[in-house]
Structure formats: C-alpha cells, structure tokens
Amino acid sequence: MSTKSYFEKLEKRYGTLTFGSLLKAWREGEDLSQTAFAKKVGLSVQNLNDLEKGRRIPSPTRAARIAKKIGLPEMGMIQLALRDSLIKEGFHYEVKLESA
C-alpha cells in the first residue's frame, strides 16, 4: 500500500492525524504500555509521553527512525512530523513529500 493511500485512509476514517496521535494509536493497537513501547523504539517514557501528547515534535530523522522500528511508512511519518511542526508555528499548509 502506498504511503499516500495508507495515511489518507486513516485520516478519512479518524480525522486529521498528528505524529503523536498516530504513535499512540499504533502503541495501543499493539496493546503495549508506554514503558514497553518506549523501550522498543529507544525513547525514554517521558519523551514518548511528550510525543504522544504533542508537546514535542520529532525531527525528520527521529520520525524516520521510529517509523522503521515499528514498520510504518517512513515518508508518511516524516510528513506528519513536518506538518505538526508547521502547525505549531502557525502555518496551516498541506505537506506532501515525494522521493527524488
């Protein structure tokens, strides 16, 4: 499934995604505690909590690393992180990434 259709289908069904909301939904879908999930992706529990609640937004590098560890599309996770970062700064732009 392409990144575009994967995330578009999720947003159509559940509304606008954020990096944190997707991360939390994935963790809960796997029935993992924050402690277990944080260990799986190499984060502290506090950092994971901050990401899930939107208090922190990951860099594209961190978003890609997390995506790889949990098997989600890297480009889509980077796109969500970039969109969240722009929204936090007051810019409401659509973010679309394409591989070169």
93 in a domain, yes or no?
Answer: no
CATH number of the domain at 34, please.
1.10.260.40
Q: Which amino acid is at 22?
A: L
82 in a domain, yes or no?
Answer: yes
**Residue 75 Cα distances to 34, 49, 78, 85, 90, angstroms:** 24, 22, 5, 15, 23
pLDDT at 19: 96
Each residue of 39-62: pLDDT tens digit? 999 999 999 999 999 999 999 999
Residue-number span of the structural domain to which 53 is assigned: 3-88
pLDDT band at 81 (very low <50, low <70, confident <90, very high): very high
44 in a domain, yes or no?
Answer: yes
94 in a domain, yes or no?
Answer: no
How many independent structural domains does the chain possess? 1
pLDDT at 42: 96
52 in a domain, yes or no?
Answer: yes
98 in a domain, yes or no?
Answer: no
11 in a domain, yes or no?
Answer: yes
